[in-house]
Amino acid sequence: MIRPEALGLTTDGGERTAVRGRVLKSSFLGTRVRVAVETAAAPAPLMISVRGEDPSAVPADEADVVVTWSADDAILLDAAGGDD
């Protein structure tokens, strides 16, 4: 699991952990923008929260993007749902 604000969007993954995807929709929420990105890595869209002060930083719908994150921000969950 990775919190939406720990995810970033770019056109190049660089040195960070990354997955390619396509923007489905962007929703402005005050000073933040929630971007839904479809990827092959998950059955549901990834939700990314980005700063919305600069509208040019928000990717257009249907844009190809790279979702990035730091490995330190990822939390592994037990697939069986146990407490161990």
* 10-65 tens-digit pLDDT: 887 666 788 999 999 998 888 888 999 999 988 999 998 888 767 777 889 999 99
Q: Is the alpha carbon torsion for 44, 60, 65, 63 positive or negative?
A: positive
Q: Is the alpha carbon torsion for 62, 38, 7, 66 positive or negative?
A: negative
pLDDT at 82: 55
The alpha-helical segments, DSSP class H, found in the chain are: none
C-alpha triplet 35, 38, 44: angle, nearest 5°: 95
- Classify domain 4-68 at the CATH class level: mainly beta
The model's pTM is: 0.78
So where are the chain's domains?
4-68
Q: Identity (one letter) of the amino acid at 62?
A: E
Q: How many CB atoms lie within 10 A of CB 38?
A: 16
pLDDT at 35: 92
